[in-house]
Amino acid sequence: MSSEMINILTGPVSALALAVTILWGLSKFASKYLPQIIDKHLKQIDDQMECQRQICNRLDQMGTSMVEQNASATEAMRKAISGVHGRLNPIENDVKEIKSIVILKREVPDGGN
């Protein structure tokens, strides 16, 4: 082999050929595997979005059930209060009478006899 041939094999032409070969190999690799990688990634994102949608739906259901439970508890409390109020109204006059007697006994020093 002549020195000219060695210069061509080790010089800029061989570097260019090596670079083109590497780029060609990378493009083949990328065209084969990159779409699969992207599809897997997009599927993972779709799965995450579906899971988050299910979580949001469940939270909405829980919020609705909490509102319903709160409404039923509030209604039960109102009924209980109205029941207590209904029982205390007839006693109110008796309490006023007892209060007036107690106040009157306080004002009279000897017990009011």
**Contact indicator for 82, 89 with CB cutoff of 8 Å:** no
Domain ranges of the chain: 3-77
Does the pLDDT at position 36 exceed 80? yes
Average pLDDT over residues 21-40: 92
Distance from C-alpha of 68 to C-alpha of 88, rounded to nearest angstrom: 30
User: 12-107 and 3-10 are packed helices; what angle lies between their axes, rounded to 10 degrees?
Assistant: 10
pLDDT tens profile 49-101 = 999 999 999 999 999 999 888 888 898 888 888 888 778 878 888 888 888 88
3-state secondary structure of 6: helix
Does the pLDDT at position 111 exceed 70? no
Global pTM value:
0.47
Phi, psi torsion values for 25, nearest 5 degrees: -65, -40
For 58-83, give the DSSP string. Answer: HHHHHHHHHHHHHHHHHHHHHHHHHH
